[in-house]
Structure 1
Amino acid sequence: MARMDANAVARQAEMILGRLSSLPTLPQVAAGILPYLVGGRVSTAAITEIIESDPALTARILSMAARQGVEYSAARPSVAEAVVKLGASAVRDAAMSVKVFQVFDAETDADARRILPRKQLAIFSLATACCSRQIAEILLPEEQRQSAFTAGLLSQIGILALDEVMPKSLEKIIGEARDRQESLAVVERRHLGLDHILLGKRLAESWSLPREIVTGIWLQNADLESLQPALPGIALSRIVRLATAIVRQSGLGHNGDFDSPPAILEAAAGLPIAAPQIEQIRSELHDKVSRRAQAVGLEMKNAATVYLETLSDAAARLAGDNTSLESRNRQALTQASQLEFIGAFVRGITPEASAVEVAAHLAELWQQRFQTGTVCVVMQRDPADPFAELISFDGPGRSRSVLLKVPAEGGLIPAALRKQFAVVELAEAAPWIAEQLDFDLGEARMVPLLAGSGAIGAVIFQNRIPVDPQQQATALSAATAVVAHVLAGRMEQRRHSDAAEQFADLLGRVNHARARQAQSQSISAIAEVAAGAAHELNTPLTIISGRAQLLHEVETDDNKRHMLKQIQDRAGEISDIVTDLMQFAKPTPPSPQSATVQSLIDEAAKIAAEKRGVDKLEIEAVGIAELGSAFVDPKQTAEAIARILLNAVESYKGESGPVRIEAGAEVEGRAVVHIRDSGCGMDAETLKKVFQPFFSAKPAGRKRGMGLSHAQRLLTVNDAGIRIASEAGKGTTVTIELPRK
C-alpha cells in the first residue's frame, strides 16, 4: 500500500478512535475497585466514589446507561444514579471489562519515566473535576454541580484515547510540545490535523454521553464570548476552562501543555465570580484532590502486584459465568432470522453513533446472521473524496479500519451496481480493493448499499457454507435496503457535524483577526500621539540646548558652567528619546526585496553584538539555512531581529547568552523563526505589556523600554508577524513569521 499523507493518517486515527469502546485505567484504580467487585457483595457507595473519580470508569458507566436507556430522576445523568439503576452485575462486568495500563510490569515504574506520566494526567483530571465542582457550588444550582465535576473529569479523555491507540506517536508529540514550550493541542493539530479536545468530543458523542458534558469537553478552549450563552453546556465549558487554569497554576498533575498557563482572571471572563472566591477555591483545592486521590487508590504502592493478585481471584469466580454466557451466545446466533437481523441492527445503534460505528455493527451482525467469513463494509463520505473507508470484521475482537485510495476512473462502486442490487464477485467488480489490503479476502462477493438515488457503499463477504445464489440475493437485498438508509443518514449527520466544527473554527479565526486589527489600530494611535509629542518637543529642546551651550561658552563660574553642562546633557538625552519616538511613529517606508533568512540573522547578530559592546554573542543557529528567502526590507528586518536578540541577551545576568535560533514549521507560506533564551523570563502580567512603548519590568536606571515595541513596529510594516511565549524563571521564546513574497 502507498504511504498515506498527513490527512490520511489523521483520518485513520479518527476511524480507529471511533472504534474504542472504552478507555484504559491505572492499575492503582483497578486494584482499588476490584476487591469490591469480586467479594460476593458489591458496596455501592465505595464503587461509586471510585468510578466518579476515574475518567475511564465514568465514561464507561455513563455510556452503558445511555445504551440501556436508563432514566434519571433529576433529568441530569449522574454516575451515582447510573450505578444503582444498572445493577451490581452490570456495573461489575463494565468495570472489569476496562483495560488496565502497565499491568504486567509490576517490578518497575515505567510510567514515571514517561514525559507525561499517566498518573500525573489522572491527578490533573481529578483536580480539574474537583475545582469545577467548587466553582459550580458558587455559580450553579445544586442539580447541575455534579455535571460540572464530570465535565472537568472527562476534559482530557482525548489524551487517554491517543495514548491507547498510538502511544509512541503521542510520546513524540508531547516531547515536541515540551521542547517547543507549546500547548499539546497545537502540536497535535500540526501532526494529526486535529487535537485531543476534538477527539474527546467525538468520543463522548460516540459513547452517547450527556450533551452538556460533550459541549463542556469540546468548547473548553473555544472563544466562548462569541457563542450563545443559552447553548447547552456553555456554562460547563466556562467552568472547565477556569478550573483548568487554576489547576495548571496550582501545579496539580500535568496535562501535556508546556506553554505559559493562562491568567486565571482571563480564564474567568464571563463568569460572575470574584477574585477572593477564586483564591478561596485555590486554597482548598489541594486537600480536596488529596482526599479523592487517596480514596480512588492513586497513592497505592505496588498497585500492579495487588491488581494481578486480585484479578487472579476474580478470574476463578467468573469462569463459570463466562462459560455459560458463551453457550447462550452460540445458541442465539444459530436461531437468528432475517427479521431478527434487522431488529438487532436497529436496536444496536444509538442516536449519536457515527457512520463508521454503524458500519462496524453491520459487519459484525452480518457475519453472525449469514454465517460468513470475513465481512467488510466500504463507504465514501462524498463522491469527490479520493479516499474510502473500509471496516472489516472476521471474529470477536478482530475488527479493523482501513483507508482505501479510490481509483480516479471507475469510482468506488462499479457502474453495474450503482442503481440495481446484485451479488457479484469482488475479483471481477472491484479488484483494486483486494490489492490495497494486507489480508486475504479469498473468493469474496460484493453487494451494493443502495439508498435514495444510488449506491453509498458496499458490503464484501466470504461465503463459508454452500448457498443458493437466488435465495441469498433475495435475503441480502431486504437486509441492505434497511441498513443502507441508516448509513446514509449517519453520513449526512457527520457532514453536518463537520460543518458545525468548521463554523466554530471559522468563528475563532474571525475573532483572532479582530484582535490583530485592534492591536494594529492601537499601535497606529500610539504612533500618532508619539509623532505629535516629538514634533512639539523638538523646537523647545533645540532652543534650550542652544541657549545652554552659548551660556556655557561665556560663563566663567565653574559651578554654573557645570550646571549648564548638565542642562546640555539632559537636553541631549531628551532629544534621543524624541528620536526614538519619531522612529517608532513614522518608520521609513520599507523597500522589500528577496533576502535569505540566514543573511538577516547574520546581520542582526552583528548589529546586536555592536550595541552590546562585545565581539560576538553566544548564539546557536539550527536549520536557518534551509528556510530559504523572505521578501522584506533587509535593513529594517535585521534591526528588528537585533532588538529581539538584545532583549534575549539582557535576560541573563552579566552574560551574553546562550540564545538559540531555530527554524520552525512553515505557516501559510511564511518562513518561521524561533528565538529562544533560558534567561529570567516574564510573568503573565509583564507578557501582556511587552510590546507597549517605554514599558520595562527592569528597576530604576533601566533602558527606555523601546526594544520590543520598536521591533514589532518594524516587523509590522514589513507584513511580518511576531508573538512571544514566556515563563518566569524559565526563559522566553519569540516567534517571527516572515513573508515569502
Structure 2
Amino acid sequence: MNTTGTHEANLVILSILIAVFASFTALSLAGRVRVGQGWARRVWLAAASIALGGGIWSMHFVAMLAFRVPGMAMGYDLGLTLLSLAIAIGFTGAGFAALGRTGLSSRRIASAGLLMGLGVVAMHYVGMAAMRMPGTMHYDRLWVGISVLIAIGAATAALWFAARDQALGMRLGAAGLMGLAIAGMHYAGMHAAVITMDSATHAHMVTSGIGQTFLAVLIATITLLILAIALGAAWLERVFHKIARREARIALRLKIADVLRDYDTTAALDEIAALMGEHFGVSRTGFGQLLAEEDVFDYDICWTDGTAPPLLGRMPAADFGARIVAALNRGETVVVGDLFAADPRVDARSLETARTVDTRAILVVPFLREGRLRTIVYLNSRTTRDWHPDDVAFMEEIAERTRLVSERAAIAEQLRELNATLEARVEARTSELRAAQEALVQSQKMEAMGQLVAGLSHDFNNVLGAILASFDLIARRSGDAARVERLAGEGRQAAQRAANLIAQLLAFSRTQRLATQALDPALVIERLRPMLMRTLGPLITLDCHLADPAGEGWAVLADPTQLEMAVLNLAVNGRDAMPAGGALTIALHPYLAQGAADLADGRYVMVEVADTGAGMDEETLRRAMEPFFTTKPVGKGTGLGLAQIYGSMRQIGGAVRIDSAPGQGTTVRLFLPRTASAAQDDDTPAAPAGPGTSLARVLLVDDDPDLRRALAAALADHGHVVDVAADGPAALVLLERAQQAGEALPEVAAIDFAMPGMTGAELTAKLARHHPALRVVFMSGFADLAAIEAVAGPDAQVLRKPFATEQLISAVARA
C-alpha cells in the first residue's frame, strides 16, 4: 500500500532556522576565507565548509526526524547517515575551495555551484536511503528534478554571495534566501518520496531509544551551538583583522613618509612600489609617466612578486583601451575586478594588453597636472579580484602622498631645461612684463581719454575757429599794420591754446617708462584743472586747496604723467559716483610717517581726493584695488584704475589709502615722498634769441613742406644760411654733394624725429658716423623722449611740435 507521511510543524520551523543560521554563518566565514592568507585561509575554508555542509546536513536530519508515517516505526542506518554528513561537508568544501582559487569568475562560480549543488543532492538522497522502515520507497522524477535545480541554485547563490564582502544587512538577507532555498530543496525531495508499506523486518534498522522530537532538538541545539561558536570566532577575527589592517596602514603611511623624506626620486618610487605591492598582496605595482607629445606611457618603476613579468619601457596609451584612457584623462580612478568579464570599459585592445602582460584585475590612480594626465600609479593582479572600496580609497590616499615624488623627476628635468635657457627666458619674461605694465597704463589712459574727447574736441574746434578768423581778418586788413599786428597776436594766442591742448593729450596718452623726478604736485594739479573741470561737467563743483601753509612748497619725487593720470582717474571715479551732482575736493597736506605698515618712516605730501558720492560698502572697499575688479557696468570701466594707481605709488615709495562708507562718499589719499626742491614747469616756451646770437649754416630736414618752408624762412630772416631736405636720404645726398664740391658743410641739423622711409634716429646715426661735428636739434610731435634719448642721449635738444620760431632759433644757437 502506497502512503505519504506528514511533518511535525515545530521541527519543520526548527530545520528552516538551522538552514538560515548555517547560511549566515557560512557567508561570514567565507568572507574570512577571501581575506585570509596562508594557514589562516585554510582554517577558515574548513570552518566555512563545516558550517554550511554540516548545517545543511543538520537541517536535513532534523527535517527527516520531523517526518511521520502513521503506524510505521522508523530508524536510520548509522553508516549511511555519517556518509551523508561527509558528502555535505566534502562537496561544500570543494565549492568554497574552487571559489577561493578562482575569485569572482562567473563561469567558475557556476561550475562550483553545480559541484556543491550536486553534493547537496547526493547528501539528501543518501540520507533518505539511510532511513529504515517496514516498507519500500521510490521517487517522483519531476519532484526529484525540482529538488536538484533548487539545490544547484541555492549552492550557486551561496558561492556568489560568499565571493563578496557583504555588509551585515546584505548577509542577513542573503542568508534568509539561501536558508529557505536549502529547506525548499529538502522538502521538495521529501515530496518526491512515495512509500510502500510491507511487513518485512529490517535487521539493520537502528532506533534511538529516545523520541524523534527530542533527538531533533538535541541535534539542532548542538548544531546551533557549533554555528554560534564559529560565527563568534569569525566576528572576533574580523575585528582583529580590522585592527591589524589599520595598524598595517598606519605603519605603511609612516614608512612612506620616511621614504619621501630620506630617499632620492628613483629609490623612493622603487621602495614605495614594493611597499604597496606587499601591502595589497598583488602581483605587480608601479608608476608610469605619460609622454603627451608621443601619447605613450613610460613605465620606469615596477615591482613584482615574482609571478608576473615586470612592466618596463614604453607602451602606447591606447593599449589601455579608449574608454579606460578617457576615464584616466578625466582624473577618475579605474577599478576593474575581472578584465575578461563583461565590462563596458574594457574593449578588445584592453583584453589584448591584459593577456600580453598577464593581468586579470587592475586598479589605476591617475595624477593630473594643469588639467592634463601626467602620471599613473597602478596595482595589477594575475587573478580576478573584488576590489573593496576601502582598498580603493587607501590606494588613492597613498597615491596622493607620492604625487610630488612621482613628479619630482619630471619637475627636475623641467628645472634643468629652464636653467639652461634661464637668461633668455628671464629677458623674454621681463620684456613681456614691461612691466605689460605699459599696456596697462596705456589702457587706463585711453579709457579716461575716451571720456575727455568730446569736451576737448569742442575746445579745439573753438581754437581753430579763432585761428582761422584771425588769419582771415589779417588778409582783409593787410594795409592796417597796427590791426594786423593785433590780429596776429590773437591768432598766435589761439594757436598756443591749441598746442597746450595737444600737449595735455600727449602727456596723458603717450606710452613711456615710469620716470620719477622732483616736481611740485600743486603745479601739476593746477595745470590739470581745466581738463578736470571739463571731465566733471557742470553738475559737480571742483574745489582745490593746493597752497602750502608752511610756505615751503610741495616738492616730491614722482612721475608727472602718472600723477596726472592718478588724479584724473580719481576725478572720473568721483564723477561716476555722483550722477546727480556733488562736490569733488582736491587738497594737499604734509604727512609724517612713523611706524606705518605701508610707508617707510619719513616726510610725505598727501594728495587727498574726496567726493560726496554714494560711497562703497565693506566688500567693495576691500577689493577696490584688485586688478579688473569694477562695479561699473560692462563697457564703462576696466577695473584697472585704482590698481594702476596703487602700483605706481608703490614704485615711487609711496602708498594709497581709501576711506569710504555707503552714503558718506569716498576719500582717496596718495602719499608722495618729499624731496628737497622741485623742478620748474618745463612747458613754458624758451625766450627768443637776442641780438648778437651767432649765425650758422643749418640743415633743416622735415617731411612736411608747409612747415619746412615756414621754418626755413624764419631761420633765414634771423640771418642763418639754410639748406633744406624733405627726408633723410635727400639730406645725405645734399651733404655728400657739398663735401665733394668743397662747399661749407652745415654746423647744425634740425631734424624731424618721425619721417617716412628713414627716421630721424636712423639719419642721426648715419650723420654721427660720417659728420661727427654736426650738432643735432630734434623736432617731434610725438615727444617720445625714451626713443630720442636712446639715440642722442639725455642731453639732446628736443623741440615738441608745435613750437614758436624763437624756440628753434634759440636751440640752434645753443647747439
TM surpasses 0.5? no
Q: Which one has the largest radius of gyration?
A: 2
Q: TM range, normalised to the smaller chain?
A: under 0.3
Structure number with the bigger relative contact order (C-alpha 8 A, sep ≥ 6) is: 1
The TM-score with structure 1 as length reference comes to 0.23
The TM-score with structure 2 as length reference comes to 0.21
